[in-house]
């Protein structure tokens, strides 16, 4: 039986002044799916997931999650709605002045009356899920880059979210640590059933973990499909990206021609 659509992005357009960053993009993400948004720097990947979590408002279009168009929510309603979503920032965004357990339990420390002993136990539980034990009392500055990324992931899942958004989760990491993060993303899907959107320009990661992949370039989606379908897609921009080099450059003239075909 086909899984239902958890997230629907419909005709999403975003302009900053005269610059159009996203151009009428549409896709859906199924419940429990790992959906990868792949593209180069400045392609619009991170801007897209910032709309999905409500950090940005679209110029046009809809973001529908579990039947709710979040673009129509008030700020207060959006804060409440975000409880079902976790967000892994590209740089981790840990608080250097807080211990690891305080970083993981930050939401509960700031927004609830939960006793600190319970928050500490919760932090231990989430850290164990990402393969980290016994570091609760350390500070982020005492951790390696890969460990900081995993602490950030533990924080992202601290509220037991239904959806986790990952912004360049393997950026700046060595291949072994990158593979570890990829395995964690898959394990979280398999063990707690989260729906995942992963933004990346890391081809190995995208093809390794993605159930489906959307290739985005200059704010336009050029292809959506399984890893094998993306690899075999004949679109020259898709092939240029996944082969990491092209037979010939994508010129501005060719880009405009391809863009007009997509419109």
Q: Which helix (H) or strand (E) holds 87?
A: strand 85-88
Residue 159's pLDDT is 87
pLDDT greater than 50 at residue 4: yes
Half-sphere exposure of 40 toward its Cβ, with a 13 Å CA cutoff?
Answer: 12
**Residue linked to tokens 């379908």:** 229
Tell me, yes or no, whether 143 lies in a domain.
no
Closest CA to 211 of 35, 37, 49, 45: 35
Instruction: Give the separation between CA 69 and CA 217, rounded to whole angstroms.
Output: 25
List, for residues 170-228, the tens digit of each pLDDT value: 887 788 888 888 988 998 888 888 999 999 888 888 999 999 999 999 899 999 999 99
The percent of residues in the chain predicted with pLDDT above 90, rounded, is 49
Work out the end-to-end distance of the chain between its first and last CA atoms, rounded to an integer number of angstroms: 33
Closest CA to 219 of 36, 30, 48: 48
Domain containing 222 — which CATH number? 3.40.50.300
Whole-prediction pTM value?
Answer: 0.84
Give the domain range for residue 24.
5-92+163-185+194-262
Number of domains into which the chain is organized: 1
Tell me, yes or no, whether 98 lies in a domain.
no
Residue 92's pLDDT is 61
Tell me, yes or no, whether 56 lies in a domain.
yes
Tell me, yes or no, whether 122 lies in a domain.
no
Tell me, yes or no, whether 138 lies in a domain.
no
Residue 149's pLDDT is 85
Tell me, yes or no, whether 80 lies in a domain.
yes
In terms of phi and psi (left: phi > 0; alpha: psi -120 to 50; beta: otherwise), the region of 7 is beta
Bigger pLDDT: 150 or 27? 27
List, for residues 51-78, the tens digit of each pLDDT value: 999 989 999 999 999 999 999 999 889 8
Distances (CA, A) of 193 to 34, 36, 50, 52, 159: 10, 16, 22, 19, 14
């Amino acid at each position: 039986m086909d899984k239902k659509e958890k997230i629907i992005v419909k005709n999403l357009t975003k302009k900053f002044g005269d610059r159009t960053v996203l151009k009428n993009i549409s896709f859906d993400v199924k419940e429990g799916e790992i959906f990868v948004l792949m593209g180069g720097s400045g392609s619009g990947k991170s801007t897209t997931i910032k709309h999905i979590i409500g950090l940005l408002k679209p110029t046009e279009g809809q973001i529908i999650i579990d039947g709710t168009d979040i673009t129509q929510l008030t700020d207060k309603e959006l804060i409440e709605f975000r409880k079902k979503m976790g967000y892994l920032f590209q740089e981790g965004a840990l608080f250097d002045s807080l211990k690891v357990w305080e970083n993981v339990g930050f939401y509960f420390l700031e927004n609830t009356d939960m006793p600190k002993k319970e928050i500490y136990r919760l932090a231990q539980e989430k850290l164990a899920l990402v393969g980290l034990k016994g570091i609760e009392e350390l500070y982020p500055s005492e951790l390696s880059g890969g460990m900081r990324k995993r602490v950030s992931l533990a924080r992202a899942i601290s509220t037991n979210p239904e959806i986790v958004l990952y912004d360049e989760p393997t950026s700046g990491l060595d291949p072994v640590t990158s593979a570890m993060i990829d395995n964690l993303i898959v394990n979280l899907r398999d063990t707690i059933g989260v729906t995942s959107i992963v933004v990346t320009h890391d081809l190995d990661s995208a093809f390794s973990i993605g159930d489906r992949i959307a290739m985005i370039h200059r704010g336009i989606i050029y292809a959506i499909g399984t890893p094998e379908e993306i690899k075999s897609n004949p679109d020259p921009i898709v092939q240029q990206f996944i082969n990491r080099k092209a037979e010939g450059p994508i010129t501005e003239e060719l880009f405009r021609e391809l863009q007009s075909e997509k419109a």
